[in-house]
Amino acid sequence: MRLHTIQTGYFKLDGGAMFGVVPKSMWQKINPPDENNMCTWSMRCLLIEDENRLILIDTGMGDKQDEKFRSHFYPHGNDNLDKSLAAKGFSRNDITDVILTHLHFDHCGGAVIRRPDGILECAFKNARYWSNEDHWNWAMVPNEREKASFLKENFVTIQESGQLNYCKDQGLIIPSISLEYVFGHTEAMMVPHIQYQGKDIVFAADLMPSSFHIPMPYVMAYDLRPLNTLTEKEKLLTEAVDKGSIIFFEHDPVSECGVLKRNEQGRIIIDQKGNLADFI
């Protein structure tokens, strides 16, 4: 098995929304906002080579949205999905599986592309796309709180193409990848756990979007059920310390990964952070 970080660019989100009840006087020290109170975040994906499988976890925002939509989120940077795959020696057609942790636009937008004639098609024509039925049905009939994040143009084409597969339970995609379902951020978001050379690597998705979100009160205002997030996050943190897990941060603007420890007061804090290659 080999693991590769896939950078798809950066975007901006409101700092207050990303840090929830934490005062700006505190969070602005760790991720300074611009004049519009927007902070920069990564859209970082993970590529897994395993024998004859090439598995991509999440796909970033993509580029098919119109300028009005993009003006709300300021996508920027020199990286994109195609360039990052090419840098690792691959193309879209090589991908055999795409795991979509959830169907918010910044996680699945790159799963579907728009052709020059305006027709939507799956970006990975040879891949099986993986979601779960509970989350898929949730996204198809969005509530008012999440409606702006569930854009059907990003995922309905997957179902129509016949490439959609449902994970039947919190089980295995391949023997080295298991899925944990969490319900705080949105309904039945999938958190992949990858077993790599005796190490547990947790693709934390939006349960812990960055290293800044390790302290318990740092819960996004976007979360559907923030009290559930607290419980799920505490479980993830505790298990990560006990197992020595490597946490893969999808949205951290700087650090790809981190490992945790307890400080003298017993609180869980970041011990080390850096690039994926630093830990594997």
Query: Average pLDDT for residues 144-162, to the nearest whole number?
Result: 96
pLDDT at 172 over 70: no
Structure tokens at 269: 């804090």
pLDDT of residue 168: 77
- Distance between CA 240 and CA 216 in Å, rounded? 14
Contact of 215 with 23, CB cutoff 8 Å? no
**Which of helix, strand or coil describes residue 23?**
coil
Q: Is the pLDDT confidence value at 185 over 70?
A: yes
Q: How far is CA 214 from CA 2, 4, 222, 245, 270, in A?
A: 27, 24, 16, 14, 7
Average pLDDT over residues 135-154: 97
The pTM of this model reads 0.97
Mean pLDDT of 165-181: 83
Q: Is 75 a residue whose pLDDT tops 70?
A: yes
* Rounded Cα distance, 77 and 276, in Å: 20
Q: What is the CATH number of the domain that holds 204?
A: 3.60.15.10
The answer to whether residue 171 scores a pLDDT higher than 70 is: no
Domain of 180 in residue numbering reads as: 2-278
Number of domains in the chain: 1
Report pLDDT for 173. 74
- The Cα–Cα gap between 212 and 42 comes to 13
pLDDT at 169: 65
What's the pLDDT score for residue 89?
A: 97
pLDDT in tens, 193-247: 999 999 999 999 999 999 999 999 999 999 999 999 999 999 999 999 999 999 9
Average pLDDT over the chain, rounded to whole?
Answer: 96
Phi then psi for residue 119, to 5 deg, are: -75, 135
What is the band of 175 on the pLDDT scale with cuts at 50, 70, 90?
A: confident
DSSP string, 92-152: GGG--EEE-S--SHHHHGGGEEE-TTS-EEES-TT-EEEE-HHHHHHHHS--TTTTTT--G
Give the distance from CA 266 to its chain's centroid. 28
pLDDT exceeds cutoff 80 at 53 = yes
